Amino acid sequence: MEECLLIVPDVKGDDGVFDYMAQRKKVALEGEVFDSAIIVFSDYAPNEFCICITGHHVKADGLQTMRALYLLSDNLERDKNSSPFSKLKTPSLTNWIMILLTLPYSVFMNLSHYFERPFDRNCIKNHPHFMTGRLRARNALEISTEAARNLCKNQGFKLSELTAGLVSQTLSQYFEEKGEQARHVTVSLPVSMGNIDTNFGATAKLGNCFVSLSAYMPLDSDLTQATLKHRKSLSIFDNKLMVPGMYALIYLQNLLLSRHLVQGILREAGKKHSLLLSYIPGFLAPVHFAGGRARKVFGFGVGAGNMATAVLVMSTSEVMQLSVNSDESQIEDIDLFVRLLDKNIRKANIHIKK
């Protein structure tokens, strides 16, 4: 059992602002997941909270982090048989045998794709290594999960494609403001190869079960065109051997190579990519913490070393939240970037009307 620090609202003062208290809570986990504390903010109605978490992919991927977060919720104490998560299709034993047998082919395909374009050089990736060390984070407008799903249904998009389209559209406008000519950026896209174990009565072994794909995202100031172009750019991964083949390659690297060599590979990957775009499917049903409902969840995180710009997308059954994190040397004007993102969310009419 691991012990986690949970900071929750306690008593609202005369000024209408909550005081907070720290609770230590035992979690049925093997291995540390959270870097520090999980903070439950009450800045909505008295029974609606915002959950803030910090962490890193070296400890657990997005899906397993959400599972760990759920283990701290009130829901688990009420009904251990319920689950707010969707099921993902994962490779069977037969699939894995085929993947390993065809590994040389899939490695060749992945490396050919990786070196298809030169390493990024643009106004948010103007140096392969340099960073100021001054990281900033901003949250975009709250998105209604229902409105976003309805838009996707009408347009024939997936939610992950829509969020990528918003990022492409915003980058296009930001580049124009900064006089940048580049019309593509290389994006690191984490893809989970696992599922969330819903046996909540047992101790969970958490860790990484994801592969990060290199995607060449075309930029377009029109949301529909940006989303369609991004989908087309990912068509190479329709080959069913590409993604699990890359996962098998990374697994073997971590198993057989020294930590020094693995770190060198990560630094090389960071030199190529402009940003990390991580879409984490969240809670499909209401989840409660400290006596109140989790209205939204957001996290802070960056990519590997010199890939210090990240857009993280997390959701509940009601609210999606896009969180932008960047080093000052990459997205220099993060306030402008988020204003453009907010404008595009409003234009798509998927924001939550206050």
Question: Mind listing the domains of the chain with CATH numbers?
Answer: 1-56 (no CATH), 105-348 (3.30.559.30)
Cβ contact 142:319 at 8 Å: yes
DSSP state of 351: B
For residue 242 the two structure tokens come to: 């590409």
pTM for this predicted structure: 0.84
What tens-digit pLDDT sequence spans the chain (354 residues)?
445 555 555 555 555 555 555 555 555 555 555 554 555 655 555 667 677 666 565 566 777 777 777 777 777 766 666 677 777 777 778 888 888 889 899 889 988 998 989 999 999 988 887 788 888 888 899 999 999 999 999 999 999 899 999 999 999 999 999 999 999 999 988 888 776 666 665 555 566 677 888 999 999 999 999 999 999 999 888 888 888 888 888 888 888 888 788 878 877 888 888 998 888 877 888 888 767 788 777 766 555 556 778 888 888 888 888 989 888 889 989 999 999 999 999 999 999 886
Give the pLDDT score at 64.
72
Q: In this structure, what is the dihedral angle of CA atoms 80, 86, 87, 89, given to the nearest 10 degrees? A: -160
Q: How far is residue 65's CA from residue 207's CA, in Å, rounded to a whole number?
A: 9
pLDDT (0 to 100) of residue 222: 95
| pLDDT for residue 1 | 46
The pLDDT of residue 144 is 92
Rounded to 5°, the CA angle 56-257-207 comes to 30
The pair of three-digit structure tokens given for residue 193, joined into one six-digit string: 């190869």
In which residue are the tokens 């957001």 written?
298
Whether the CB-CB separation of 122 and 185 falls below 8 Å is answered with yes
What is d(CA 162, CA 347) in angstroms, rounded to the nearest whole number? 13
- Report CA torsion sign: 147, 153, 158, 161: negative
Query: How far apart are alpha carbons 78 and 122 in whole angstroms?
Result: 51
End-to-end CA distance of the chain: 41
